Amino acid sequence: MGRHVGDLSLEELKVYRPELKYKPNDFDAFWENIKAKMDGENPVVRMQARKTAIPTIEVIDIEFESWDETPIKGMIVKPKNVDDCPTIISLHGYTGDRGLPVDYLKWIPLGLVVISFDVRGQGSSPDYARYQNGSRVPGWMLQGIRNPENYYYTNVYRDILLQLKWIRSKDCPLNPTILGLTGSSQGGGLALATAGLDKNIDFVTAELPFIAHFERALSVALSGPYLEIVNYFKFSDPKYNTYEEVLKTLGYIDCVHFCNSITCPVLIASGLEDATSPPSTVFAAYNHIPSESKFIEVYPQYKHENIPLHEEKKIEFIMDICRRNM
């Protein structure tokens, strides 16, 4: 059934569960140390109500001063005069941003709150981290690539851990009764990694997740951010002398390496024509998730793009979890 342009067949994908040979031996200790440090941080958060033409919602703009004082822009979109309700953290795609209130209106009539932050350095938020390497290739994939402790996505994960701490604190103007993660592409990979880092997440939806199974992605991806790394080798290291060093850094942030810790309900989507997040990298993540409630929807003719039908399935999935936890 279906198409599988440049990747494994659907039958092969269903059983594709690769060995995690680039998962570092000290992976768990590395992240436990970072989580302990983030537990000791207290972010400075500034909030401002935004005027909106829609009388049934409230919008709150956020400036979140993260662990290294990077001011990250965020937003809360919520039903008016409702503070105790299911909450979705929306994580955006590569080069994207936190979005606009209109992007989240479908959740408001269902009684849900959406919180969305820029990823540092993307959207309208800066990145105050200092990286020790430059690059001929534009983008964020190579920033700090030889230093796992100060790699770009290590810092992004730090931000998300601190944001979760704040959302659950008395300083946040919400009281999430259920807390879930949703994202596509970069956001999908971040959602899966975060669910592996935080055992108290209630659900995850991840469409076309990126940041997954790098050793495979670098071999088969034909477009998108993985090519930043491919082109690094082409222009700066054509003999691949630093390949093992680069894969070691990526091993600490590869969302597949977090998946064996995910026990909450998970819904994933994959397009069989996706050359940016190749299906084999998506199934590698899915097949390493031990959750007893996990589902993957496959769309044979979709590339790396919005899948309207899947939006309906995502709403059904999340609302079913909300009903069962009322």
pLDDT per position as a tens digit, 117-165: 999 999 999 999 999 888 888 999 999 999 999 999 999 999 999 999 9
Q: Where are the alpha helices (DSSP H) in the chain?
A: 10-14, 27-39, 152-167, 186-197, 214-220, 226-236, 243-251, 279-287, 308-324
Residue-wise pLDDT tens digits, 204-240: 999 999 999 999 999 999 999 999 999 999 999 999 9
Q: Say what the pLDDT of residue 325 is.
A: 81
Q: What is the CA radius of gyration of the chain?
A: 19
Which residue, 46, 65, 13, 86, is CA-closest to 281?
13
Question: Which of the residues are catalytic?
Answer: 185, 274, 304
Q: Say what the pLDDT of residue 73 is.
A: 98
Does residue 75 carry a pLDDT above 90?
A: yes
pLDDT bin (cut points 50, 70, 90) of residue 4 is: low
Share of the chain above pLDDT 90, in %: 94
Does residue 1 carry a pLDDT above 60?
A: no
Does residue 3 carry a pLDDT above 80?
A: no
For domain 10-318, give the CATH superfamily.
Alpha/Beta hydrolase fold, catalytic domain (3.40.50.1820)
Mean pLDDT of 45-72: 97
* H, E, C per residue of 48-71: EEECCCCCCEEEEEEEEECCCCCE
Q: Which two tokens stand for residue 71?
A: 């001011």
Instruction: Sketch the domain layout of the chain as residue ranges.
Output: 10-318
Contacting residues for 301 by C-beta, under 8 A, at least 6 apart: 2, 3, 271, 272, 273
Q: Which two tokens stand for residue 239?
A: 């003999």
Mean pLDDT of 37-51: 97
Q: How many Å apart are CA 207 and CA 204, to the nearest integer?
A: 10
Q: Say what the pLDDT of residue 5 is.
A: 61
Does residue 57 carry a pLDDT above 90?
A: yes
Share of the chain above pLDDT 70, in %: 98
Q: Which two tokens stand for residue 69?
A: 């004082």
pLDDT bin (cut points 50, 70, 90) of residue 25 is: very high
The 84-91 sheet, strands edge to edge: 44-50, 57-65, 71-79, 113-117, 84-91, 175-184, 203-207, 266-271, 294-299
Give yes or no for a contact between 208 and 184, defined as CB atoms under 8 angstroms apart: yes
Does residue 98 carry a pLDDT above 90?
A: yes
Least confident interval from 4-13, 15-24, 195-204: 4-13
Does residue 2 carry a pLDDT above 70?
A: no
Number of other CB atoms surrounding residue 17 within 10 Å: 12
| Cβ neighbourhood burial of 282 (10 Å; 0-12, 13-18, 19+) | buried
Please state, rounded to an integer, the average pLDDT across all residues of the chain. 96
In sequence order, the β-bridge partners of residue 88 are: 114, 180
Q: Say what the pLDDT of residue 211 is.
A: 98
Query: pTM score, two decimals?
Result: 0.97
pLDDT bin (cut points 50, 70, 90) of residue 326 is: confident
